[in-house]
Structure 1
């Protein structure tokens, strides 16, 4: 399949991330492929970033979001037609952000979420291609108790939010485009002892959720369309994990990536 220019740009970005990290998962004694990171270049303009970036593909091109000074959120947009960046600009309004932004595309709109200081809550804003405007910042109703950036996943016709709380639990809220309302914050059953933000991925008709837990283990849970959670379990055989896990569906399987000892990246096929 022919790849478009913006896809090639994203492909180069992915290669550079992989090339800059030691991946562990090849057979013993196999040499890792040597690739030179030659295409690094700064995204034009003054990002004024105070957080890691969040990237999302929307309306035909990548968009980058960062937390900026004073709790604002800043955005830059790449044009597929001109292959240029729009320049960094503040998302309008008072975000009050204390975390990196998190993004999701749901119902044809771009949804943006950040943690805020007030009651460790979550603030949200929504961009519509129809109006070409942002809806304005609002607080997701209820007390989230978030200690990290929120995690988003679209599943079962709804947009799901997940946060880690100070006592190591995971809380969730669900937004429905049909009703325009939130379900309300609820704590997942059980105590995973989470020490990282949650990571989610949809695979095999279920929503899979992972966290790093006390002692460097990975704890997993699974949500089904029936509205029930399978319960927390510890993944066997994982190295001592020092980061939040990253999940990816690829090649017919569900894969996890984690940072382990000696700053190496480990991978494992879970399903």
Structure 2
């Protein structure tokens, strides 16, 4: 593909001669990289875009399983005015083919473009695919500014020096010549040029052996491209920068990601399947609906589920209908994995809790014997420790949290319906059970979360009301139990967000989901319904995932 990308008319794949002559401002839309054929399977993230009934052809880059980043001029009525492109469905039916280096084969994936999200300040658009592209790694978007003299690579499906409509992806080498606020100028080396069909092509920088997207091709002189006068020898290209748009790209990507940043509330519905919703506590905005995460490997889950976040990854743990323990993961910006059994063969499990210590999950369950069993999973290595019996005395329910001193603090409802606690030190040693002071009795459910070295503990009492206590693990002092409110709730879970607010979620007697918060100064807000209309809920868990980066 010749490496000349001009942001003007691509109609019928022909660039008007008047658009080729003149100053940089009259570059034509980028058309095709006149370079070498790409090796099979290379640059798999590159997308070939066919717009309308072969009205235009462009190139783009897969940056998310649902999103292609390309030039807005590809979709504009007048490619010379990409800034007026309207958001929404494209005017012309557009098909994206990703991961097909050789267009005569059936490799890769094909999907229609369903939605456009353009930038008003530059020739750039995020194009949403109607169906996700899985099995092809998206191209990472650069976050470091480009500098003059850097070597770059551009793959594209456009015209070459000898072919009007090549069947192979081509790529060429370019040198970065100029940098401004929204674009970079590059020059082809070794005969590379951006030609018709290359508009929107990814401009790639190699950083420590990893490819990253710096810009997309916008306009070029097309020197050396088939059909361009031999007197035109310039190979300069104007490209639209993306390295400064990381936050915008993420915001658009997250609109379709299965796993979004924020507090994830997950419930087991009346169908015993797992459902997920998410909220951004900074804005108070919730997802518009509950999304199905899926049933377990044994076609459902029982009444126990817990979750924990490590950075931008959410790890969910559930008891299957076979009494075994399963897990699935989701990374912010991506999709949920499938269920996998936790190694070790635990069976007959009655209850489960999980908390994180660095990159390690500390997992505890109540076995069929009523005793406490524990396992740890190292998410750096992917290894699990296997199950170890801790103690075989009877307990009914458990919850856990990790305090700032890296100690896992476990809380349980005993067979006598009183509340007990024990700890697991950073070196893996368990202490014995001790009663939590205050004399709580008849306890039905329990949850705990940490604020620094202070544990915020809530229980549902025999009256169905919410009671709370705090424990300072620096001094060992507890506050005693306080009745928060005496309305009926069935189950509770809690998480602490970055603003040091405890966020409590509950299943009401009506089997709907409610939330309230406890501020750093100890003030409780009132109950509010979680949007989305979940009903018939059987179990609940919540954890807070960070954003990418």
Q: Output the TM-score relative to the length of structure 2.
A: 0.36
Q: Does 1:109 align with 2:407?
A: yes
Query: Residue deviations 1:4-48, cap 9 Å, x none?
Result: xxxxxxx9xx9xx9xx756689889xx999999985443232313
Describe the shift of the 1:128–1:172 C-alpha distance in structure 2 as closer, same or farther (beyond 3 A): same
Structure with the bigger percentage of strand = 2
Distance between the aligned counterparts of 1:229 and 1:251, measured in 2?
24
Q: Does 1:123 align with 2:417?
A: no
SS of corresponding position for 1:209: strand
Q: Does 1:233 align with 2:531?
A: no
Structure 1 contact 145–166 (Cα < 8 Å) conserved: yes
Describe the shift of the 1:179–1:239 C-alpha distance in structure 2 as closer, same or farther (beyond 3 A): same
Structure 1 contact 45–87 (Cα < 8 Å) conserved: yes
Distance between the aligned counterparts of 2:407 and 2:341, measured in 1?
28
Unaligned runs of 5+ in 2: 1-139, 141-258, 268-272, 278-285, 295-333
Unaligned runs of 5+ in 1: 2-10, 253-271
Describe the shift of the 1:164–1:26 C-alpha distance in structure 2 as closer, same or farther (beyond 3 A): closer
Distance between the aligned counterparts of 1:69 and 1:33, measured in 2?
27
Distance between the aligned counterparts of 2:418 and 2:433, measured in 1?
13
Match of 2:518 in 1: 223
- 2:449 is matched with which residue: 153, 162, 166? 153
User: After superposition, where does 1:1-271 map in structure 2 within 5 Å?
Assistant: 21=274, 40-58=339-357, 60-79=359-378, 83-91=382-390, 93-99=391-397, 101-106=398-403, 107-118=405-416, 120-130=417-427, 132-141=428-437, 142-148=439-445, 150-155=446-451, 157-188=453-484, 190-202=485-497, 204-230=499-525, 232-235=526-529, 238-239=532-533, 241-243=535-537, 244-249=539-544
Distance between the aligned counterparts of 1:202 and 1:23, measured in 2?
18
Describe the shift of the 1:139–1:33 C-alpha distance in structure 2 as closer, same or farther (beyond 3 A): closer
Query: Residue deviations 1:65-116, cap 9 Å, x none?
Result: 110133211112234576432221111x4542112x3121112201112211
SS of corresponding position for 1:228: coil
Structure with the bigger percentage of helix = 1
SS of corresponding position for 2:369: helix
Describe the shift of the 1:125–1:37 C-alpha distance in structure 2 as closer, same or farther (beyond 3 A): same
Match of 2:208 in 1: none
Distance between the aligned counterparts of 1:68 and 1:198, measured in 2?
21
Distance between the aligned counterparts of 1:37 and 1:51, measured in 2?
25
Describe the shift of the 1:143–1:22 C-alpha distance in structure 2 as closer, same or farther (beyond 3 A): closer
Describe the shift of the 1:66–1:194 C-alpha distance in structure 2 as closer, same or farther (beyond 3 A): same
SS of corresponding position for 1:129: coil
Q: Which protein has greater RCO, CA pairs closer than 8 Å, 6+ apart?
A: 2
Describe the shift of the 1:42–1:115 C-alpha distance in structure 2 as closer, same or farther (beyond 3 A): same
Compare 105-114 and 191-200 and name the one that shifted more.
191-200
Describe the shift of the 1:234–1:73 C-alpha distance in structure 2 as closer, same or farther (beyond 3 A): same
Matched positions, count: 229
RMSD in angstroms over aligned alpha carbons?
3.9
- CA drift of 1:128 comes to 1.0
Describe the shift of the 1:45–1:227 C-alpha distance in structure 2 as closer, same or farther (beyond 3 A): closer
- CA drift of 1:157 comes to 4.4
- CA drift of 1:126 comes to 0.5
Q: Output the TM-score relative to the length of structure 1.
A: 0.68
- CA drift of 1:151 comes to 0.6
Match of 2:281 in 1: none
Distance between the aligned counterparts of 1:117 and 1:168, measured in 2?
18
Structure 2 contact 351–365 (Cα < 8 Å) conserved: yes
Describe the shift of the 1:181–1:26 C-alpha distance in structure 2 as closer, same or farther (beyond 3 A): closer
Distance between the aligned counterparts of 2:540 and 2:292, measured in 1?
22
SS of corresponding position for 2:450: strand
Distance between the aligned counterparts of 2:436 and 2:370, measured in 1?
17
Distance between the aligned counterparts of 1:186 and 1:22, measured in 2?
32
Describe the shift of the 1:182–1:129 C-alpha distance in structure 2 as closer, same or farther (beyond 3 A): same
SS of corresponding position for 2:492: coil
Structure 2 contact 494–543 (Cα < 8 Å) conserved: no
SS of corresponding position for 1:133: coil
